[in-house]
Amino acid sequence: MRDYQLMPTRTAHSGTWPALPFEAWKDTYATLHMWTQIIGKIRLTLTPWTNHSWHVTLYLTSRGLTTSPIPHGNNIFEIRFDFIDHELRIMNSDGAIRALKLRPQSVAKFYEEVMKALTELDLPVKIDLVPNEIQNPIPFDRDEEHRSYDAEYANRFWRVLVQADRVFKDFRSDFCGKCSPVHFFWGSFDLAVTRFSGRPAPPHPGGIPHLPDAVTREAYSQEVSSLGFWAGGDPLPMPVFYSYAYPEPAGFAQAKVRPDAASYHPKLHEFTLPYDAVRAAGSPDDVLLDFARSTYDAASTLAKWDRSALREIKPSLLSARPRS
């Protein structure tokens, strides 16, 4: 991988594309990862299965992240992270609400407060207490290790997701084949959108820590090209945009993609683009869209997707207007 990382600097886009240095908020990141897993597992437990685990994800809102409506008997409820007022809100369709303050506290305490609030709202639920997709997981009800919450960096992280979500949706609109929503996976703690070729894929080898191989194989049962944003971690301790293909076509690692700051990471088997390269650009949207489109072009061309059939032809709003 190219040794490329910009130091966080003040740019014209600093307000909307804030600095997110990994070292500055890694403890908050680790804690928030576990908190989102607890909330995500509530949705997982109560929501009917949807292909590729699309039923478990969270979604961006104008204030944070949401489960979207979750069924519970004849009611529905919703859980929202608010990274402006720093609250977790649980809202039942009978009108009852509980608000929990997001503050420095252990994962175990957060879990206890969430379960108590759900019981008070007559929304009892039992979840699997072991975190997914991480090494050496600590059950939520026993995790006293992760207890950091820096409100400034939680807010910055959400603001980065807002921008990524907005651009990813623009990119998604170019495609008329099967495509995921833009959604947040709490297991891997990333925002992603995935395009499908329409053809079956070979069985995935699995092996993701604390994630059943059957789940992984169903998720990758069809050929995909996936775009996402990841806040960083081993083996890449910095925030990055990424793009990968499964199965990876021959020649993908050597493909020429844009911009120049992007490179192929052999351990991750994906192209990565440092977040700082995007936020420092004159037009972050254009740089990110260029990365998204060029990596998809490489994956779909090398894998011989039926690109013409999958291209969205957008009608002209002007020509669609009724004549007066």
Number of compact structural domains in the chain: 2
CA dist 58 → 7, 78, 104 (Å): 30, 11, 22
Are residues 78 and 27 both part of a single domain?
Answer: yes
Does residue 17 form part of some domain?
no
User: Quick one: tokens of 230?
Assistant: 């990841």
- Name which of 20-24, 58-62, 246-250, 316-320 the model is least confident about: 316-320
Tell me which residue range forms the domain holding 36: 22-142
Scored b (16 or more CB within 10 A) or e, 181-216 reads: ebbbbbbbbbbbbbbbbeeebeebeeebeebeeebb
The reported pLDDT for the residue numbered 313 is 83
3-state secondary structure of 280: coil
pLDDT greater than 90 at residue 312: no
What is the rounded distance in angstroms from the CA atom of residue 33 to the CA atom of residue 189? 6
Q: Hunting for tokens 């804690």 — which residue is that?
A: 31
Least confident of 10-19, 70-79, 164-173, 188-197: 10-19
In this structure, the answer to whether residues 138 and 157 fall within a common structural domain is no
Q: Is residue 72 in a domain?
A: yes
Residue 8 has pLDDT above 90, yes or no: no
Is 191 in contact with 183 (CB distance < 8 Å)? yes
In a 10 Å sphere around its CB, with 0-12 CB exposed, 13-18 middle and 19+ buried, how is residue 144 labelled? Answer: exposed
Specify whether 166 is located in the same domain as 281: yes
Flag whether 206 is in a domain. yes
Degrees, nearest 5: CA angle 145-149-150: 140
The side-by-side arrangement of strands in the sheet containing 263-265 is 183-185, 190-200, 222-230, 240-246, 270-274, 263-265
Instruction: Say whether both 197 and 241 belong to one domain.
Output: yes
Same domain flag for 157 and 291: yes
Residue with tokens 């607890």: 38
Establish if 265 belongs to a structural domain.
yes
